[in-house]
Structures are given as structure tokens and as C-alpha cells.
């Protein structure tokens, strides 16, 4: 039986150490910026996206060492999106990962800049990784896909569609389109990037992309359910926020019971996409179980 809790703990601590080294604390004039970046990046978060990136690399027989810089880059981009999402001009949140949000501690200007710096530096971390010297084409392709996933065709587009949709009832297909960008794009690139850097063949990339799409949507459906059901203390962030703002969510469109069923269907679909993979994909299978069962 695969011990997912232990696996997640060990992998999160590996990611934590690598992030710590990737974003050092300087002592010069930018010390405050480094401090703000490290405040949001370290000591918090489930590290789901980097863990999935590393697991995808290993599922195709790749070495952890070759995907760790990419995994850090993904988490840096994710953290930037959380900092900006919490700003008063966006969701205006005071609590994130159980602590005051960046702008509450460092002020709006520094929080914005810490997010900008994490986003920008993420690409440098991957571009300067040891693998870039050995396999530049592979890394260049991964950088391009990462930029697409985070940018105006991916996560930022999802956020814009979400903003423009507030207060307007939307259909299920539109909700899926929105989340495919806002949350799904980063899950998809985490899996594809990890697998590519691990040397995946094209049919493996295809199956893993199917896995990632189902997993990303499953994550979002569960996120909507937790926003409704979990406490602020449990999540380390304000809950019932989407509900209070009349946002379009899966429970609102499908009801709670059907949303739970849909999340289970998506988790099973993700696992089904891995039918041609051997035991090296066991962590990915277990992660699909974790995402649907998670309470945080
Ligand atoms: C460009 C001004 C500007 C803002 C960008 C890109 C963006 C704002 C927001 C992206 C959308 C976003 C923040 C989605 C959040 C998705 C989500 C459910 C995050 C929570 O992820 P977890 O549960 O968090 O993995 P932890 O804390 O565990 O890492």
C-alpha cells in the first residue's frame, strides 16, 4: 500500500530545501524584497504542483535531479499568483497559508513587487538549471510551455474571465473553460514539464496530459466544496468567500452531492489515464486519490 501522507511530507521537505536555495536572502538594498519573497514562498503550502512535477518525471523513468529546478519554478509562479490574488485590488484577503497575507505584512507595493520578482525569477531558475546545459532544447520547450500556462493564454486569462464573470450566472462549460486556465493550466504544465524533462515519449505525454486535465479540474471542484464546507482555521485562508460573493462554483451549479460525485469521477478518470504506466506511476495514482479526499 502506497503511503501517500509520508510521501507528501518527504517530497514537500525536498521542495522546501530547494526553494530555500533558489531564492536566497541577500543583505544589500533589496534585502526587504528577498524577505517578502521568502515570507510567502517558504514554510507553507501543500507543494502539490512541484510534487506532481517530480512524480511525473519519475513516472516516465526520469531522475528527480533533472526536474527539481522546474518544480521550484512552478511553485514560485503559484506563490506569485497567490500574493497577487490576495491584493486589495483582487480578492482582498488577509490570511493565506495560516498567516497574514503579503500586503498585510509588507504593504501593497512590496507585495506586488515580491509577486513580480517570483514570477520573473522562476524562469531564470529553470533556464540556469544544470539540465539546460545538457538538453537546451528540452528546457527551452518547457520554458515556453510554462510561460503560456502562466500568461495571457493561461492562468492570467482565467483570472480575467473570472473577474469579468462575477455577478453573472454562467454555464458549466464556461466554468470548466475558466478553471482550465485559472487553475488547470498550471497543473497541466507541472505534469507535462516534469514528464518532458524526465524523457517522456509522445504517447506518454498524451496520457499524462489527460491525467493532468482531469486532476486539475478535480482539484478545483474540491476547492469549491472546501470553500463552502471547511473552516478558515482548517484551510489557513478565508472560506465561504466565493459563496458570499455569489461566485460561480461547482456546488452552486451542480449542488454539493453532485459536485462530490463529479470530483470522484474526475479522480477516477485521472487514474484511468495512467493504465499503460507501471508501478513508477503509483505516486501519481495516489495523488489523484489525495486530491479528491483532501481536507486542506
Ligand atoms: C496578474 C495582477 C495579477 C494577478 C494575477 C494569476 C492570478 C492573479 C491569479 C491566479 C488565480 C489563482 C490565485 C488561482 C488560485 C487557485 C487555487 C485554488 C489556489 C490554492 O492552491 P493550493 O490549495 O494552495 O494548492 P497551497 O497554499 O497549498 O499552495
Q: State the closest ligand 1 atom to the C-alpha of 97, by its place in the atom list counted from 1.
A: 27
Q: What is the pLDDT of residue 242?
A: 81
Q: Is the CB of 97 under 6 A from ligand 1?
A: yes
pTM comes to 0.97
Q: At what angle do helices 155-165 and 172-182 cross, to 10 degrees?
A: 140
Residue 27: other Cβ atoms inside 10 A:
7
Find how far residue 58's CA is from the centre of its chain: 18
Q: What is the pLDDT of residue 1?
A: 87
Select from 162, 281, 152, 160 the least CA-distant residue to 210: 281
Find how far residue 136's CA is from the centre of its chain: 25
63 half-sphere exposure, CB direction, 13 A CA radius? 4
What are residue 96's DSSP bridge partners? 99
The three three-digit cell numbers of residue 241, written as one number: 468567500
Q: Is the CB of 156 under 6 A from ligand 1?
A: yes
Q: What is the pLDDT of residue 128?
A: 97
Select from 241, 237, 250 the least CA-distant residue to 174: 250
Q: Is the CB of 266 under 6 A from ligand 1?
A: no
Measured distance CA(77)–CA(189) in Å, rounded: 12
Select from 95, 73, 294 the least CA-distant residue to 186: 73
Average pLDDT, the chain: 96
With a cut of 50, which residues of the chain have pLDDT below it?
none
Q: Is the CB of 227 under 6 A from ligand 1?
A: no
Q: What is the pLDDT of residue 94?
A: 97
* Separation of CA 155 and ligand 1 centre (Å): 9
- Render pLDDT for 136-190 as a digit per residue (tens, 0 to 9): 999 999 999 999 999 999 999 999 999 888 878 889 999 999 999 999 999 999 9
Measured distance CA(213)–CA(264) in Å, rounded: 14
- Render pLDDT for 255-268 as a digit per residue (tens, 0 to 9): 999 999 999 999 99
Cell match 512535477: residue? 53
Amino acid at each position: 500500500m502506497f503511503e501517500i501522507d509520508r510521501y507528501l511530507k518527504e517530497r514537500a521537505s525536498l521542495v522546501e530545501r530547494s526553494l530555500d536555495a533558489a531564492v536566497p536572502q541577500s543583505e544589500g538594498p533589496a534585502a526587504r524584497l528577498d524577505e517578502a519573497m521568502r515570507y510567502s514562498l517558504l514554510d507553507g503550502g501543500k507543494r502539490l504542483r512541484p510534487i506532481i512535477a517530480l512524480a511525473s518525471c519519475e513516472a516516465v523513468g526520469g531522475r528527480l535531479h533533472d526536474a527539481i529546478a522546474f518544480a521550484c519554478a512552478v511553485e514560485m509562479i503559484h506563490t506569485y499568483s497567490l500574493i497577487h490574488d490576495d491584493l486589495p485590488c483582487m480578492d482582498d484577503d488577509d490570511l493565506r497559508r495560516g498567516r497574514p497575507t503579503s500586503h498585510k505584512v509588507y504593504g501593497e507595493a512590496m507585495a506586488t513587487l515580491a509577486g513580480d520578482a517570483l514570477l520573473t525569477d522562476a524562469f531564470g531558475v529553470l533556464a540556469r538549471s544544470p539540465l539546460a546545459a545538457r538538453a537546451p532544447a528540452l528546457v527551452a520547450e518547457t520554458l515556453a510551455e510554462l510561460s503560456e500556462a502562466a500568461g495571457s493564454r493561461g492562468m492570467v486569462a482565467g483570472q480575467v474571465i473570472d473577474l469579468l464573470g462575477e455577478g453573472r450566472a454562467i454555464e458549466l462549460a464556461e466554468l470548466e473553460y475558466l478553471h482550465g486556465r485559472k487553475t488547470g493550466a498550471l497543473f497541466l504544465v507541472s505534469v507535462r514539464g516534469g514528464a518532458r524533462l524526465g524523457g517522456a515519449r509522445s504517447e506518454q505525454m498524451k496520457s499524462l496530459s489527460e491525467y493532468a486535465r482531469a486532476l486539475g479540474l478535480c482539484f478545483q471542484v474540491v476547492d469549491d466544496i472546501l470553500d463552502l464546507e471547511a473552516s478558515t482555521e482548517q484551510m489557513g485562508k478565508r472560506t465561504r468567500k466565493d459563496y458570499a460573493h455569489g461566485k460561480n462554483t461547482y456546488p452552486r451549479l451542480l449542488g454539493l452531492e453532485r459536485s462530490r460525485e463529479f470530483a470522484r469521477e474526475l479522480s477516477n478518470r485521472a487514474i484511468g489515464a495512467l493504465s499503460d504506466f507501471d508501478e513508477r506511476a503509483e505516486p501519481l495514482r495516489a495523488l489523484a486519490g489525495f486530491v479528491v479526499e483532501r481536507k486542506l
